[in-house]
């Protein structure tokens, strides 16, 4: 990505010959890490990493040059590790002769000799510097030990996971027009681009092509290629760039071409985006759009429902709208939120569902579920395409009086409405497209059993997809999905 975008980045490699204990010759085939740079069209330099003067001059010269002529440059500093990767691993795997060889190249000792030789440092001045450094370290250690012991505060710890979200006082415009789900998503992005001049859109094929689902069609003409950027096929780099933009006070929207592809960017999502506010108070103002779901004959690599991967990770928010108006309002909320949001959009809804969508800019508050239908016999709790399956089932079974709850957001979760509904009806069925084992429905069942047990007249039921990959063939795919099983399970629950 740095090479394609000509980013002024120095990739500085501490080439010390080992991973933890595995030598470099068992890590890669080329002689040096720098040998990889030409494959990316990158300039590379190999220098003596133990020569302080050479490192300083090289980095300074290249840094100044790429400020004037932006491009990425790799600098491989050849060095050595005189201790273990960390304290526990030791150094038994390193040949003794390497220690003898590299001890002579100690950068601090050699730099001291260089300064003395050039009459830039006297023995007396060296003693003063060492004493100053020792004093600074000792004072630091003393101040830390003087600190009181940390006393856990659960409320504080939980609040520290997310950056403060904006207040939701936006009035929903009275005027509306009919939109398909996909058009509502596109309209939301357009409104957000007008509202937030610092917002950058990134993803594979989203610029001139408009994305594989045409959500960003025409955006390049409106906002230019600086703000609507095609990216290389490297999800982890896209997400890393998005986080970097957030650190520099920008906002970023990343489109996963398909939700399935997010696995290639999993690490920066769960270990960087999700944790960065808790670790050092840094906002991660990133929305990752996730075209998700089956029912369109796209097979096992383009049809997964993987929202549960992310509901388990503190620090992420997970939105999953079912209707065009919710899709627009929630996406605008997600982009306004300084926290990372995984925004799921069911592909089968893009062009099959339409409805009245308010014009202009408005927001829907996360963590507020929607009671789509009010009833007394059973609580149906679902989200995404499941809402429409439930509506279809109830249409064909008018004798069932159901409370149909559309969660809209999974994190934050509207437990108040869930518990209120279940306590009223005494029966609950959870419907989701994700596979049965480990799906978000299991969490909902556990919460209901714990909080509403005294009001239950029947076991809480989960209706979910089979524990298999998503099949290609239509008959197998619909057998995999819970739509038809849900209708049967609902009848059985009513009759319990």
Among candidate residues 302, 346, 388, 432, the one labeled active-site is 302
Q: Which residues of 284-297 are buried (b: 16+ CB within 10 A; e: fewer)?
A: bbbbbbbbbbbbee
Contacts of 473 (CB under 8 A, 6+ apart): none
Nearest to 292 by CA among 385, 377, 355: 385
272 and 286 in contact (C-beta within 8 Å)?
A: no
296 and 179 in contact (C-beta within 8 Å)?
A: no
Distance CA(193)–CA(191), nearest Å, equals: 5
Asked whether the bond before 412 is cis by omega within 30 degrees of 0, the reply is yes
Find where tokens 């799921």 sit. 344
Residue 302 known to be catalytic? yes
180 and 205 in contact (C-beta within 8 Å)?
A: no
* Alpha-carbon separation of residue 100 from 92, 96, 106 (angstroms): 14, 7, 11
- Coil vs helix vs strand at 242: helix
Find where tokens 């395409």 sit. 385
Q: Which two tokens stand for residue 306?
A: 């993987």
| Strand pairing report for 428-435 and 378-382 | parallel
Q: Which two tokens stand for residue 377?
A: 């016999």
Active site residues: 302
């Amino acid at each position: 990505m740095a090479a394609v975008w000509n980013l002024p980045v120095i990739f500085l490699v501490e080439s010390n010959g080992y991973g933890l204990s595995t030598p470099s010759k068992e890590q890669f085939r080329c002689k040096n890490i720098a040998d990889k740079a030409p494959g990316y069209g990158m300039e590379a330099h190999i220098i003596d990493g133990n020569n302080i003067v050479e490192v300083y001059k090289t980095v300074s010269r290249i840094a100044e040059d790429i400020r004037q002529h932006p491009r990425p440059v790799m600098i491989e500093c050849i060095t050595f590790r005189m201790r273990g990767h960390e304290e526990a691993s030791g150094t038994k795997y390193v040949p003794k002769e390497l220690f003898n060889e590299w001890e002579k190249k100690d950068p601090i000792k050699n730099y001291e000799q260089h300064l003395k030789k050039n009459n830039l440092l006297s023995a007396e001045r060296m003693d003063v510097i060492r004493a100053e450094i020792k004093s600074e370290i000792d004072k630091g250690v003393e101040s830390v030990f003087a600190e009181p012991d940390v006393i856990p505060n659960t409320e504080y710890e939980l609040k520290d996971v997310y950056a403060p979200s904006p207040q939701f006082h936006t009035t929903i415009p009275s005027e509306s027009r009919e939109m398909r789900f996909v058009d509502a998503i596109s309209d939301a992005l357009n409104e957000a681009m007008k509202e937030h001049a610092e917002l950058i859109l990134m993803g594979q094929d989203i610029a001139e092509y408009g994305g594989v689902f045409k959500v960003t069609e025409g955006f390049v003409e409106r906002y230019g290629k600086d703000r609507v950027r095609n990216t290389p096929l490297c999800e982890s780099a896209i997400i890393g760039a998005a986080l970097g933009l957030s650190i520099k006070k920008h906002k970023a929207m990343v489109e996963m071409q398909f939700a399935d592809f997010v696995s290639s960017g999993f690490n920066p999502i769960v270990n960087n985006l999700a944790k960065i506010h808790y670790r050092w108070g840094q906002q991660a103002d990133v929305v990752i759009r996730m075209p998700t779901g089956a029912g369109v004959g796209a097979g096992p690599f383009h049809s997964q429902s993987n929202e549960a991967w992310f509901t388990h990770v503190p620090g992420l928010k997970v939105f999953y709208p079912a209707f065009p108006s919710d899709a627009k309002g929630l996406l605008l909320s997600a982009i306004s939120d300084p926290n990372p949001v995984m925004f799921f959009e069911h592909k089968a809804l893009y062009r099959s569902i339409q409805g009245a969508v308010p014009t202009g800019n408005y927001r829907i508050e996360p963590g507020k579920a929607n009671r789509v239908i009010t009833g007394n016999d059973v609580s149906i709790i679902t989200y995404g395409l499941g809402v429409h399956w439930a509506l279809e089932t109830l249409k064909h079974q008018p004798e069932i009086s159901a409370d149909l709850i559309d969660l809209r957001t999974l994190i934050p979760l509207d437990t108040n409405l869930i518990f209120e509904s279940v306590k009223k009806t005494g029966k609950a069925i959870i419907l989701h497209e994700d596979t049965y084992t480990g799906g978000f429905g299991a969490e909902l069942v556990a919460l209901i059993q714990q909080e509403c047990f005294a009001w239950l007249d029947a076991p809480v039921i989960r209706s979910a997809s089979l524990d298999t990959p998503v099949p290609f063939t239509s008959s197998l795919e619909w057998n995999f999905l819970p739509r038809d099983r849900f209708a049967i399970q609902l009848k059985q629950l009513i009759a319990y």
